[in-house]
Structure 1
Amino acid sequence: MKLYRLPKDKLKSAISSGNVTIAVYGLGKLGLPLAVTYANFGFNVIGVDINEKIVDTINSGKSYLVNEPGVDEGVRKNVSAGRLKATTNGVNAAKEADVMVSIVPTLIDDTNRPDLTYMMNSVETIAKGLTKGDIVLIESTLPPGTTEGPIREMLEKVSGLKAGVDFGLAYSPERTSSGQVIADIVDHYPKIIGGLDEHSTRAIAAIYSKIAKKGVIVVRDIRTAEAVKVFEGVYRDVNIALANELALLTEKLGVDIIEAINAANSQPYSHIHIPGAGVGGHCIPLYPYFLLDVANKQNVPLRITSIARQLNEYMPYHMVELIADALNECEKPIKNSKIGILGLTFRGDVKATYHTPAAPLIKILQEKGAKITAHDPLLSPDEIKSEFGIDSAKSFDELFRDADCIVVVTAHSLYKNTDFKKYFKLMRRPAAVVDGRHIFNPDKMDSEGIVFRGVGRVFKNNK
């Protein structure tokens, strides 16, 4: 049932009828949970992806995602009920659907410019099946101005239809985190919605009013909605950079950054973040570059945004500095030292390695001649070898045995909940631990006979 230009008094009944079909383009770590969510609320959903293996898995009633609550059950239940199916034929899906949602990856290239290849490919596919009365909704994060600019142009050029006349166009950014996507959509946050016209806005707002318990926030236009999502990411990046900068100073002052932050944040206007080994993922490392690209075109220098990104990208290099310093106290060079790395994914308990700080850290250590082994409970030995070019340890015993230095990059729950005391005894003494995620208590490391370094932490030689 077409929703665009449907009278306001008929929208609610139309959405509740079970006759609205939504096509979701991109069945990745955000797209598949979104498709499941739509189906959970009674919409007929067609998932579209270029990966045939993903499509086949979903059509068999199974999810390929790991540690994403509600998705396994949601796929099984909705495929069985006939409310969810997947396909690689995006054009036919568009022809069959009433609302087309693109939630494909938006990236940056080697020069840190926005790379919207996947987005524009999905939009072109949608346009080939676009018919009058359809609504196109974009949920991927974009540089402000993209939806009303190149996306609208592509849709109109390929379809021969006019946005705001023949079909609707809206933007509603995903505001989710891996490991809790469905809960974020349904329970945690309001949905931001900006439309090309009132008909587009009203229809998408009606859909999400049914889904999001926190309601919807309608902003004045698409460009504002695009800016909201990018601003959220830049805010986090800048505040993490501030914490990292303070940590660099506290290392020299002999002040423990965690103790100082906890005390400072007892004041209600202080919200200092936790410093660490670096910032990774599909979001925070990219969004500042989206905004910087737009600002450069407007001749507006975003000094804080730019400096913050540079500082956060420096942190893996600082980790290497801490490693070199700790090994130097052990009278060992990095070259030929056996270094064990705890954690490779960009965030604890999330199986994703995009822009992980582990990658540049490992590359630098390899260039310096270190012998590196890594442990990550979410990655297989083949995945570790393929992506990072290093060997993996199947157990803590294997990682720690004869190691000269252990480096914490990722705060997996497994690591937080493990008492490593017995494993320290397996290291080749004198030995070092460099903690980029505050897993270990610095005050207890000296008694273990371990040379300790941590981002912003107090250790024996800086007291």
Structure 2
Amino acid sequence: MRICVVALGKIGLPLAVQFASKGHEVTGADVDERVVALVNDGAEPFPGEHDLDVRLKEAVAQGRLSATTDTAAAVAGAEAVVLVVPLYVCADGTPDFGWMDAATREVARGLRSGTLVSYETTLPVGTTRSRWAPMLEEGSGLRAGRDFSLVFSPERVLTGRVFADLRRYPKLVGGLDEASARAGAVFYEQVLDFDVRDDLPRPNGVWDLGSAEAAELAKLAETTYRDVNIGLANQFARFADRSGIDIRAVIEACNSQPYSHIHQPGIAVGGHCIPVYPRMYLWNDPSATVVAAAREANAAMPGYAVTRLAEAYGELAGAEVLVLGAAYRGGVKETAFSGVFGVVGALRSAGAVPYVADPLYTDAELAGLGLTPHAGQQVTALVVQADHEEYATLGAEDFPGVRVLVDGRRVTDPERWGGVRRIVLGAPA
């Protein structure tokens, strides 16, 4: 097949490479000229995605993958179009469709009869039918479900392990109509591989959920569940702090039977998905009080961590504090909704002087994020914000003068911090 992937970001580019690896002719379309140039050179535009570098080079060298900034032209030559353009949510929880609208209009300009269009970006329920179908029809003069097929098929992968996740999880598809769903299923069966799994209610592969709306809700529901679960774990952790209980031991005990699957608490919930999609769900369902409460609980954790620091340290005004980790999770160079911003903001509000260090970021990159890089300044307190593996080997000797450590990820080794008051969220001090 001739396939167009719109947006060559941290999900779109691995998808394009995966499709090319199955023998298809793939054109990636992106508005960023730098990304397009790097892809055409066989060079990954961003680090950290396992096996992407090797597989990208192979796809480009074999002539199966190229990139362009001309989305409409790429669509015009494609039998299938997959959109992975990011959708953002404004501060008030309203989805910002700007980039998606622009991309959809470009797709419509190049759309030809018989093409399959698949949206993989997470959407509020009803968006595929009520927003994208009319926009594609208006821009192309074609009829969705009659002249072209339209489906929603959410990505269910984690950056850093996209290729493995594409194999592991069923591919969910929801069509605008039955014919679109069949076309979507046939497409994904030809571009993906699936591991055999015995723990699923039906065989691994492509699962038709019956409608675009059901597939949209499936993605929102599974991500919102994680946010609510973490919110509950964080509530448990705060109670455990007041009660002198180690919440990790409690959670391990609870999860020893099959009816409990409590997640781990932590200083923040970051990334493009978990902090965002519950708000998207709330836009659809503002009466979901459980979802709203969990989102509020998780958003409050960076401030809570600084409160714990102040309780152990004393007055924070003028205190120089080093925050370890700008990334939202260990080993991934990404700061989307990272807890570092909430922690630094809370420290500044308390009058402290916060510095930030991260093994994945240069000082210039940290400064570009509005953070003050640590350049060897003497600090008297530490806050671990990201669970980078490097932090497991740090100890008191690496930070002479530090009095208090708040480990927001339970990643530090207590044996290495003699003489320092070590605070772990959800554990006795």
Is the structural similarity TM-score above 0.5? yes
Do the aligned residues in 1 keep the contact of 2:396 with 2:419 (CA within 8 Å)? no
The aligned counterpart of 1:135 is 116
Residues 38 and 44, structure 2, Cα contact 8 Å, conserved in 1: yes
Which residue of 306, 323, 341 corresponds with 2:292?
306
Per the alignment, residue 250 of structure 2 pairs with: 260
**Quick check: 1:407 aligned with 2:383?**
yes
Q: In structure 1, what is the equivalent of residue 339 of structure 2?
A: 357
Q: Which runs of 5+ in 1 are unaligned?
A: 1-19
Aligned residue for 1:9?
none
- Given the alignment of the two structures, is residue 458 of structure 1 paired with residue 428 of structure 2, yes or no? yes
**Is 1:197 equivalent to 2:177 in the alignment?**
yes
Secondary structure of 2:426's counterpart equals: coil
Question: Residue in 2 aligned with 1:371?
Answer: 353
Q: 1:435 maps to which residue?
A: 407
Range that drifts further, 276-285 or 369-378: 369-378
Instruction: State whether structure 2 residue 32 is matched by structure 1 residue 42.
Output: no
8 Å CA contact 2:84, 2:120 repeated in 1: yes
Asked if 2 retains the 8 angstrom alpha-carbon contact of 1:191 and 1:212, the reply is: no
Give RMSD over aligned pairs. Answer: 1.4
The Cα shift of 1:121 comes to 1.2
CA drift at 1:142: 0.3
- Alpha-carbon shift at residue 456 of structure 1 (Å): 1.0
8 A contact 1:385–1:392 mirrored in 2: no
> Any residues of structure 2 matched to 1:186-335 within 5 Å, and which?
187-210=167-190, 211-213=192-194, 214-296=204-286, 301-328=287-314, 333-335=315-317
Give the Cα separation in 1 of the matches to 2:95 and 2:193. Answer: 30
Matched, 1:123 2:104: yes
User: For 1:379-411, what per-residue CA distance to the aligned partner results, in whole angstroms no more than 9, with x for missing partners?
Assistant: 111110110331234xxxx47xx3210100000
Contact 1:326–1:434 (Cα < 8 Å) also in 2: no
- Once the 2 structures are TM-superposed, how far is the Cα of residue 134 of structure 1 from its aligned partner? 0.9
3-state DSSP of counterpart to 1:391: coil
1:448 to 399, 418, 421: 418
1:422 is aligned to 397
1:48-89 CA-partner distances (Å, limit 9, x unpaired) = 111000000001111112111121112111111111000011
TM-score of the superposition, structure 2-length normalised? 0.95
Distance 2:46 2:179 in 1: 35
SS of structure 2 residue aligned to 1:241: helix
Q: In 2, are the aligned partners of 1:277 and 1:437 still within 8 Å (CA)? A: yes
1:180 matched to 2:154? The reply is no
Q: Secondary structure at the match of 1:448?
A: coil
- Matching residue of 2:76: 95
Q: Could you tell me how far apart the structure 2 residues matched to 1:392 and 1:423 are?
A: 14
In 2: Cα distance, 1:379 partner to 1:389 partner: 11
Residue 200 of structure 2 corresponds to none
Structure 1 letter corresponding to 2:281: L
Q: 8 Å contact 1:123–1:154 — kept in the other structure?
A: yes
Asked if 2 retains the 8 angstrom alpha-carbon contact of 1:190 and 1:212, the reply is: no
Structure whose alpha-carbon radius of gyration is higher? 1
The Cα shift of 1:455 comes to: 1.1
Give the Cα separation in 1 of the matches to 2:390 and 2:205. Answer: 36
| 8 Å Cα contact 2:271-2:337 kept in structure 1 | yes
The CA distance in 1 between the partners of 2:261 and 2:145, in whole Å, is: 42
**1:103-162 deviation line (CA, Å, top 9, x unaligned):** 011110121211121111111110001111111100000001000011111001111110
How many Å separate the matches in 2 of 1:128 and 1:149? 19
1:391 paired residue number: 373
Query: How many Å apart are 1:307 and its aligned residue?
Result: 0.4
* 1:348 match: 330
Q: Distance in 1 between matches of 2:366 and 2:157?
A: 26
Q: 1:86 aligns to what?
A: 67
More moved, 121-130 vs 64-73: 64-73
Given that 1:46 and 1:84 are in contact with CA atoms closer than 8 Å, whether structure 2 keeps it comes out as yes
1:226-262 alpha-carbon deviations (Å, 9 max, x no partner)? 1100001100000000000000100111101112112
Kept in 2, the 8 Å contact 1:339–1:405? The answer is yes
Whether the aligned pair in 1 keeps the contact of 2:302 and 2:342 (CA below 8 Å) is yes
Q: CA deviation at 1:421?
A: 4.2
Structure-2 residue corresponding to 1:75: 56
Contact 2:396/2:420 (<8 A) preserved = no
Name the residue aligned to 1:5.
none
Amino acid in the other structure paired with 2:85? V
Distance 1:392 1:30 in 2: 31
Q: Relative to structure 1, is the Cα distance of residues 419 and 339 closer, same or farther in structure 2, using a 3 angstrom cutoff? A: closer
| Residue of structure 1 in register with 2:199 after alignment | none
The answer for unaligned runs of 5 or more in structure 2 is: 195-203
Deviation at 1:441, TM superposition (A): 5.0
The total of aligned residue pairs comes to 419
1:292 aligned partner, one-letter code: L
Task: Note if contact 1:408-1:434 (Cα within 8 Å) is conserved in structure 2.
Answer: yes
Asked if 2 retains the 8 angstrom alpha-carbon contact of 1:105 and 1:119, the reply is: yes
1:129 and 1:32 map into 2 onto residues whose CA distance is 21
Alpha-carbon distance between aligned partners in 2 of 1:457 and 1:107, rounded to the nearest angstrom: 35
Aligned twin of 1:147: 128
Contact between 2:322 and 2:374, CA under 8 Å: does it hold in 1? no
1:216 positional shift: 1.1
Contact 1:362 1:388 in 2 (8 A): no
Paired residue for 2:198?
A: none
